[in-house]
Amino acid sequence: MSLVKSISGIRGTIGGRVGEGLNPVDIVRFTAAYATQRRAALPDNKTIVVGRDARLSGSMVEHIVCGTLMGMGYNVVNIGLATTPTTELAVTGEKAAGGIILTASHNPKQWNALKLLNERGEFLNDAEGKGVLAIAEKEDFVFAEVDELGHMSCKDYLPYHVEQVLKLKLVDKEAIEKAGFAVAIDCVNSVGGLAIPAMLRALGVKNIIELNCTPNGRFPHNPEPLPQHLTEISTLLKQGKADVGFVVDPDVDRLALVCENGEMFGEEYTLVSVADYVLSHTPGNTVSNMSSSRALSDVTRAHGGHYSASAVGEVNVVAEMKATNAIIGGEGNGGVIYPECHYGRDALVGVALFLSHLAHSGKKVSEIRKALPEYCISKNRIDLTPDIDVDKTLEAVKEQYRNERVNDRDGVKIDFAEGWVHLRKSNTEPIIRVYSEAATMDEANALAQRVIDVVNKVNAR
């Protein structure tokens, strides 16, 4: 059993002993700690929003979280089955003190998590997150007396979310409807099965081919939207049945595209293509994290803007976007952040902007992909064992490549003449992520393997 604590929340496998897995005792402890932190930050605001994805443990976790918040004196707006970006928008819609999203994102069914939001519907910053962890460690919270208990109301915020996307200036419903697209979707039997069809219908798409859209939490394949997991929708598109395919993860903050010929668009290029469309109409600055493709930088410069790289993590991307006045940003995992709607990764925004781009371009999806700068990114991992000292390992890698351009802002990133490799400890899984990029996949894999060999050598001593 695993329990991962970070500034963005608590994530773990369901069950196990206290402190070892995500179980009712730990759920109460961290929910109460979060409520205590919010009370200190906003003592007069007694409302917190709760939303969840459709995974099997969701109902159990939801009951415990909502009950604990009421026990802490908070009024809960329970929006039920909802995407992560829907929950973020609900926080500001309710003028709440914060929100808790119950989702383990792309992790398999045995995982769940509490993702913690501030009053702006954004993830807690470093200081706020560390505050929650400290309170939880000390169990320094006080529950409300009977006359001060909170109450719960239930609302559906999906129509509000769809409405906000439709209001965006660069979302062209008329052009999308006129194009008459056939759209295939795979929503991995989670909340995307509710949200994505609703978004497409609102955009005027009449031919929607739904795969895995029953929100029962029984994932039909690995829920991370990577090419090797998307054979069903790829086969459908190869048969010529749709103009484009959209795939989302269980909480719908990541968007992967599939071309009309069944080929993968590449999750790194979701943000790049949407940014290309946005920048062609409203030039400005962009941001992605250090593990994302150079292609966004190339596209941004071509439109006369400035590109910045942040540390990995949505909260870091958002902070850099605000600091640089970026008009669009996100992460190379298919996460699009468009501040005109809100500061959060949002697949509904990505779908609407990409379809607008597709309608205006008059091109096929594969043609849009071919027009973008060409890089290949390889995403690898090293599973952590108790014997691996991550800090020592990263220091050894830095020393090995001290004559290259090395950035240790977030893990270790090595810029070679032919590409780059980025190693960092995951905040969500017990692994070291090893991402690399070069002109070809063979070169990207070779770069990654060079560095992985160094890691293995260090830990074999």
d(CA 434, CA 303): 30
Residue 120: CB partners within 8 Å, gap ≥ 6? 91, 92, 343
The residues facing 383 across adjacent strands are 431
Number of Cβ atoms within 10 Å of the Cβ of 200? 24
Q: What pLDDT score was predicted for residue 98?
A: 98
Q: What pLDDT score was predicted for residue 458?
A: 84
Write the pLDDT tens digit of every residue in 105-147: 999 999 999 999 999 999 999 999 999 999 999 999 999 999 9
- Burial (Cβ within 10 Å: 0-12, 13-18, ≥19) of residue 148: exposed
Write the pLDDT tens digit of every residue in 405-421: 898 889 999 988 888 99
d(CA 203, CA 197): 10
3-state secondary structure 341-404: CECCCCHHHHHHHHHHHHHHHCCCHHHHHHCCCCCEEEEEEEECCCCCCHHHHHHHHHHHCCCC
Percent of the chain past pLDDT 70, that is, above it, reads: 99
Q: Are 314 and 273 in contact (CB under 8 A)?
A: no
**Comparing 80-89, 342-351, 423-432, which segment has the lowest mean pLDDT?**
423-432
Tell me the CA distances in angstroms from 75 to 65, 78, 80, one per residue in order: 12, 9, 15
Using the predicted structure, report yes or no on whether residue 14 has a pLDDT greater than 90.
Answer: yes
Total length of the chain: 461
d(CA 98, CA 87): 10
Give pTM, 2 decimals: 0.92
Q: Are 82 and 158 in contact (CB under 8 A)?
A: yes
Using the predicted structure, report yes or no on whether residue 383 has a pLDDT greater than 80.
Answer: yes
Q: What pLDDT score was predicted for residue 317?
A: 96
Percent of the chain past pLDDT 90, that is, above it, reads: 85
* 3-state DSSP assignment of residue 105: coil
d(CA 130, CA 428): 16
* 3-state DSSP assignment of residue 285: strand
Q: What pLDDT score was predicted for residue 330?
A: 97
d(CA 412, CA 436): 12
Q: pLDDT band at residue 439, thresholds of 50, 70 and 90?
A: very high
Number of Cβ atoms within 10 Å of the Cβ of 322? 14
Q: Which conformational region is residue 27 in: left (phi greater than 0), alpha (psi within -120 to 50 degrees), or beta? A: alpha
Q: pLDDT band at residue 289, thresholds of 50, 70 and 90?
A: very high
- Burial (Cβ within 10 Å: 0-12, 13-18, ≥19) of residue 221: middle
Using the predicted structure, report yes or no on whether residue 213 has a pLDDT greater than 70.
Answer: yes
Number of Cβ atoms within 10 Å of the Cβ of 339? 15
Mean pLDDT of 271-294: 96
Number of Cβ atoms within 10 Å of the Cβ of 126? 13
Tell me the CA distances in angstroms from 125 to 86, 129, 181, one per residue in order: 20, 6, 40
Helical H runs in 180-286? Answer: 192-202, 231-238, 268-281
**Beta strands at 75-81 and 98-102: parallel, antiparallel or unpaired:** unpaired
Residue 429: CB partners within 8 Å, gap ≥ 6? 4, 107, 381
- 403: tokens are 């004559």
Q: Which conformational region is residue 322 in: left (phi greater than 0), alpha (psi within -120 to 50 degrees), or beta? A: alpha
Q: What pLDDT score was predicted for residue 426?
A: 83
Using the predicted structure, report yes or no on whether residue 428 has a pLDDT greater than 80.
Answer: no
- 389: tokens are 């000292």
Mean pLDDT of 48-71: 98
**Residue type for position 258:** V
Q: What pLDDT score was predicted for residue 1?
A: 61
Query: Taking the CA atoms of the chain, what radius of gyration do you get in angstroms?
Result: 22
Q: Please, what is the average pLDDT of the chain?
A: 95
d(CA 93, CA 95): 6
In sequence order, what DSSP letters do the residues of 115-133 get, joined into one string? EEE-TTSSB--HHHHHHHH
- 11: tokens are 């994530």
Pick from 96, 105, 98: nearest CA to 132:
98
Q: What pLDDT score was predicted for residue 461?
A: 64
